[in-house]
Structure 1
Amino acid sequence: MDASALLVETFDRLPDLVREAVEGLSPQQLRWSPAPGTNPIAWLVWHLTRVQDDHLAEVLGEPQIWAGGGWAQRFGLAPDPADTGYGHTAEQVAAVAPQDAAALVDYHVAVAERTRGFLSGLTDADLDRIVDERWDPPVTLGVRLVSVANDDLQHVGQAAYLRGLLAAQG
């Protein structure tokens, strides 16, 4: 298996995990959190998708999916491409209000489709391309993609855990 196929396999797991975490939940359940100041399922899934959208758009040199197509309105938010959830206050977390679970799934699938198309065409040499010189050492495309996959997998796992806690609440 080459690196492109490995990355496709990794990222292709996320849409099903996102669906399992959110489908069948009401908007109120999506926004439930176990304690004040903790991130709800809706925010976790929105954030993991925003990070993937943001980082892939940057390496592609294209606009984010978030910025067009009415995605932001389905979440009660502005289409601000800089808003990925990093550094959100409790009030900003609470403001992420998807209309329904489908808004989360649909946005994630749109981002995942673009990600898959990009990953499918990668060569091993592409992974060594520097994509961010603000760090020491500079960040390569391979490192950036692993970072996004790591962030996404952690957050979707947290969302699944919260869904279990929500179910246990009765």
Structure 2
Amino acid sequence: MDTNRKIWNEGQQNLRRTLAAGDLTKAIEQFLTQHAMVHSKKVSRADVWSFEDELWQGLTEKAFRTIPPKGGHSIAWILFHIARIEDITMNMLVAGNPQIYIRDKWAKKLKSTIHHSANRMDNESVAQLSSQLELTALREYRAAVGRGTRDIVRKIRPHELNQKVDTARLQTVLDQGAVIPEAMEIVHYWGNRTIAGLLLMPPTRHNFLHLNEAFRVKKKV
């Protein structure tokens, strides 16, 4: 593991401890640093290493869309998926806001025919989505989601950290088809998390894990 990834992992452990201690001010500061490292510098304008910017260096459109041999995902699918998950969890579940994807009509801009999180897609559907997504729009959508997340986190109040996700908000996720029935385990997972727990996974660690996957794909293709 290189130095930047080691720093990110250590930062995530520190964020976990700070959230457990209930120090909201420090937790927000740590979260924003962790989040900045898994988004483009255009999102945070922070002076930290950006995993996403490193991924895009030298990435061709062909490599962006290609699913490697014996691989299940393309980089296009990965970036779409992590953007959708962050949008759904942070806007719908944490803030109770509309999805940016729906509010700003991103499906049309992205040339996407799906509105869900992209979980439980078969290989043919992944390949189709990967071939049709508009590359520049996907970068812009993910950046819009990232900026929205940072605004949401700055407004979290101390008493909200240990609150579980509102069941009515989970139902809205299902009603809007943001998660398909075949992927219900994700909704159950979110329903068992507190707001602090959500900060530790979708907008930080989930992004990090899938960006690592994207780098492995990039090397293969």
Bin of the TM-score, shorter chain as denominator length: 0.7 to 0.9
* Residues 9 and 128 of structure 1: CA distance in aligned 2, closer, same or farther (over 3 Å): same
CA shift, 1:95, in A, is 2.4
Could you say which structure has the greater relative contact order, defined with CA pairs below 8 angstroms and 6 or more residues apart?
1
CA deviation vs aligned residue, 1:20-78 (integer Å, no higher than 9, x gap)? 32355343321112115510111011101110001112221111111143421233213
| Cross-structure match for 1:125 | 159
Residues in 2 aligned to 1:145 and 1:73: alpha-carbon distance in whole angstroms: 29
| Cross-structure match for 2:146 | 112
CA deviation vs aligned residue, 1:85-112 (integer Å, no higher than 9, x gap)? 1111112211223222x22221111000
Residues in 2 aligned to 1:51 and 1:85: alpha-carbon distance in whole angstroms: 9
Equivalent position amino acid for 1:9 in 2: T
Judge conservation of contact 2:91–2:149 (CA < 8 Å) in 1.
no
Judge conservation of contact 2:67–2:127 (CA < 8 Å) in 1.
no
**Which structure 1 segments of 5+ residues have no match?**
none
| Cross-structure match for 1:147 | 201
* Residues 140 and 113 of structure 1: CA distance in aligned 2, closer, same or farther (over 3 Å): same
Judge conservation of contact 2:106–2:141 (CA < 8 Å) in 1.
yes
Q: Give matches, 1:32-71, under 5 Å.
A: 32-36=66-70, 38-58=72-92, 59-71=94-106
More helix by share: 2
Q: Does 1:5 align with 2:29?
A: yes
- Report the TM-score when normalising by structure 1: 0.83
Residues in 2 aligned to 1:29 and 1:55: alpha-carbon distance in whole angstroms: 29
| Cross-structure match for 2:174 | none
Residue identity over aligned pairs, in percent, reads 23
Equivalent position amino acid for 1:121 in 2: K
Judge conservation of contact 1:132–1:138 (CA < 8 Å) in 2.
no
Q: Does 1:22 align with 2:22?
A: no
Length, aligned pairs only: 163
Residues in 1 aligned to 2:90 and 2:109: alpha-carbon distance in whole angstroms: 21
Judge conservation of contact 1:15–1:105 (CA < 8 Å) in 2.
no
Residues in 2 aligned to 1:31 and 1:12: alpha-carbon distance in whole angstroms: 25
Residues in 1 aligned to 2:119 and 2:142: alpha-carbon distance in whole angstroms: 18
Q: Does 1:89 align with 2:122?
A: yes
Residues in 1 aligned to 2:87 and 2:190: alpha-carbon distance in whole angstroms: 24
Equivalent position amino acid for 1:151 in 2: H
SS at match of 2:120: coil
SS at match of 2:78: helix
* Cα-Cα RMSD: 2.3
SS at match of 1:50: helix
Residues in 1 aligned to 2:39 and 2:190: alpha-carbon distance in whole angstroms: 33
CA shift, 1:143, in A, is 0.7
* Residues 28 and 70 of structure 1: CA distance in aligned 2, closer, same or farther (over 3 Å): farther
Q: Does 1:160 align with 2:215?
A: yes
Residues in 2 aligned to 1:119 and 1:89: alpha-carbon distance in whole angstroms: 34
